[in-house]
Amino acid sequence: MSDSGEPPAAGAIRAVDVIRNKRDGHELSRAEIEYLVRGYTLGQIPDYQISAWLMAALLKGLSRAETAILTDTMLHSGEVLDLSEFSAAKIDKHSTGGVGDKTSLVLAPLAAAGGLVVPMISGRGLGHTGGTLDKLEAIPGFNVRLDAKRFREVLRACGCAMIGQTAEIAPADRLFYSLRDVTGTVESPFLICASIMSKKLAEGIDGLVLDVKTGSGAFMKTEEDAAFLAELMVETGERMGKKTVALITDMDQPLGLHVGNALEVEEILEVLRGSGPEDLRQLCLELAAWMFHLGGRATTVALGKKLAAELIQSGQALGKFRQMIALQGGDPRVVDDATLLPHAKAALDVVSSRSGYVRAIQCEAVGTACVILGGGREKKEDSVDPAVGIILHKKVHDRVAAGETLCTLMYNSEARAGLAKTLLLQSYQIADSAPPPRKLIHRIIPAVQES
Ligand code: URA
């Protein structure tokens, strides 16, 4: 805004003024937000100015109107897919990000096996959290950079496809996302809402299941903050005519036992075979159930869960995953032989110095340890090591003896392993008693009556 409070005339806008306006807590006009998003997407505004604006937006917040304009402008920075050629319901799921949060790799093939179409556009690792695209790229040959034409062909052939934001679809999010990753500007509900909803709405979906994480490994640490973000996104989805539901789920410790790209692929293969850690398996079934319910494949969530369990039991979900890997250029043999995934050269056990119960695991520190090992990025241009990560042997509530292994680091660099080990030792809190149990699913927004 100018000092008079009037929005500046189009053409008179300068990036530095938009940054100052947000820094000073003013509500930005549509013209100012469009100027920033379009200017950055076209390469006309440099990273340093957008970084400064992102930090101002994170610190000062955005109004509902600013968030809606940002989301819409990012959505229309590229093509909005028209998938009306598909008669089946088009339903997707997206998570706000966590540690060991690998459910998308189960859900896309599982939902497709149940007759839904899943046009999934995902992201890379963000901050301390892992990214679906980095996990998929751990599969030798897997191509997440399909253009819109090939994306559609894969969807036609198998009902699901998993790609990243492209130059055609949600290009603004691709650019903002990678800048936020390395500038400490992820943890804003408004920026997260615009990022997630712009790419999801570009997919041409009918419905969306949101997995909003809360706890020490989430961007929203408290349930209240997670509920605020969930409401913001559900409101945005409904405003755009999409059936939208958000599940607030626990991220106070890593999900499952594996953290790290190839390690997580290994673990989702177990889930698709009907085994795997119980928390991960239960969350996959619950999210799939909601996808089936929103997509009209199950009249109740309970029936959706039953359908999901049957599709895993029968091997159909695993078969879909194999088919999707092959269609996206990956080596489908990994489905039956996980030794074909990249493996780290060395392993290092982290042991407990005392006996007791695991009272807490500082989950963000586990994610950061994985980034330090090379499993995530510290700078935009960093490449990710798919093989490294952490295998947890003890989780919250588990009994542990002095000298017993808490977790194992899979690493390729001694120096990095040393740093990660220190962080992991600090992240485990061992006490004389176990803590009260936490629910896996905290809340559902909007609250829905089961019939
Ligand atoms: N996932 C996204 O796609 N964007 C965010 O900002 C956070 C999680």
Give catalytic status of residue 173 as yes or no: yes
309 Cβ partners below 8 Å, 6+ apart?
A: 285
- How far CA 424 is from CA of 204, 394, 407, in Å, comes to 41, 12, 8
Please check whether residue 38 is in contact with residue 160, taking contact to mean a CB–CB distance below 8 angstroms: no
Q: Is any ligand 1 atom within 6 A of the Cβ of residue 41? A: no
As given in the structure block, the two tokens for residue 146 are 């399909």
Global confidence as pTM = 0.95
Per-residue pLDDT at 448: 61
* Closest by CA position to 125, among listed 164, 152, 93: 164
Per-residue pLDDT at 11: 66
Burial of 25 (0-12, 13-18, 19+ CB in 10 A): exposed
How many residues are present in the chain? Answer: 451
Query: What DSSP element (H or E) covers 176?
Result: helix 171-181
Helix (H) and strand (E) counts in the chain: 16, 13
Q: Ligand 1 centre and the CA of 192: distance in Å?
A: 5
Give catalytic status of residue 26 as yes or no: no
Amino acid at position 42, single letter:
L
Pocket test for ligand 1, best of 71, 144, 196 (most atoms within 8 A of CB): 196
Q: Ligand 1 centre and the CA of 131: distance in Å?
A: 9
Domains, the chain, in order of start with CATH, read: 15-61 (1.20.970.10), 91-337+441-446 (3.40.1030.10), 342-431 (3.90.1170.30)
Q: What number of other Cβ atoms are within 10 A of residue 279's Cβ?
A: 18
Please check whether residue 312 is in contact with residue 304, taking contact to mean a CB–CB distance below 8 angstroms: no
Query: What DSSP element (H or E) covers 271?
Result: helix 261-272
Q: Ligand 1 centre and the CA of 219: distance in Å?
A: 10
Q: Ligand 1 centre and the CA of 363: distance in Å?
A: 18
Q: Ligand 1 centre and the CA of 405: distance in Å?
A: 33
Q: Ligand 1 centre and the CA of 73: distance in Å?
A: 16
Helices 223-239 and 64-75: crossing angle in degrees, nearest 10, is 60
Amino acid at position 381, single letter:
E
Q: Is any ligand 1 atom within 6 A of the Cβ of residue 123? A: yes
Per-residue pLDDT at 5: 46
Q: Rounding to the nearest 10 degrees, give the CA dihedral for residues 227, 228, 229, 233.
A: 100
Atom of ligand 1 nearest to the CA of 97: 8
Q: Is any ligand 1 atom within 6 A of the Cβ of residue 185? A: no
Q: Is the dihedral of CA 259, 263, 264, 267 positive or negative?
A: negative
Minimal-distance CA residue to ligand 1 atom 2: 196
Helix, strand, coil share of the chain (percent; to 5): 45, 15, 40
Per-residue pLDDT at 258: 98
Q: Is any ligand 1 atom within 6 A of the Cβ of residue 105? A: no
Atom of ligand 1 nearest to the CA of 194: 6
Give catalytic status of residue 94 as yes or no: yes
Q: What angle do CA 202, 375, 154 make, to 5 degrees?
A: 35
279 Cβ partners below 8 Å, 6+ apart?
A: 255, 256, 440
Pocket test for ligand 1, best of 99, 177, 185 (most atoms within 8 A of CB): 177
Per-residue pLDDT at 381: 85
Q: Rounding to the nearest 10 degrees, give the CA dihedral for residues 210, 211, 212, 213.
A: -170
Which entry of 22, 90, 93, 94 is annotated as an active-site residue?
A: 94
Minimal-distance CA residue to ligand 1 atom 8: 96
* Count of CA atoms in the C-beta half-sphere (13 A) of 342: 23
Per-residue pLDDT of the chain (451 residues), as tens digits, is 444 445 455 568 999 999 999 999 999 999 999 999 999 999 999 999 999 999 999 999 999 999 999 999 999 999 999 999 999 999 999 999 999 999 999 999 999 999 999 999 999 999 999 999 999 999 999 999 999 999 999 999 999 999 999 989 999 999 999 999 999 999 999 999 999 999 999 999 999 999 999 999 999 999 999 999 999 999 999 999 999 999 999 999 999 999 999 999 999 999 999 999 999 999 999 999 999 999 999 999 999 999 999 999 999 999 999 999 999 999 999 999 999 999 999 999 999 999 999 999 999 999 999 999 999 998 888 899 999 999 999 999 999 999 999 999 999 999 999 999 999 999 999 999 999 999 999 999 996 655 4
Please check whether residue 118 is in contact with residue 91, taking contact to mean a CB–CB distance below 8 angstroms: yes
Q: Is any ligand 1 atom within 6 A of the Cβ of residue 96? A: yes
Tokens 């290009």, residue located = 171
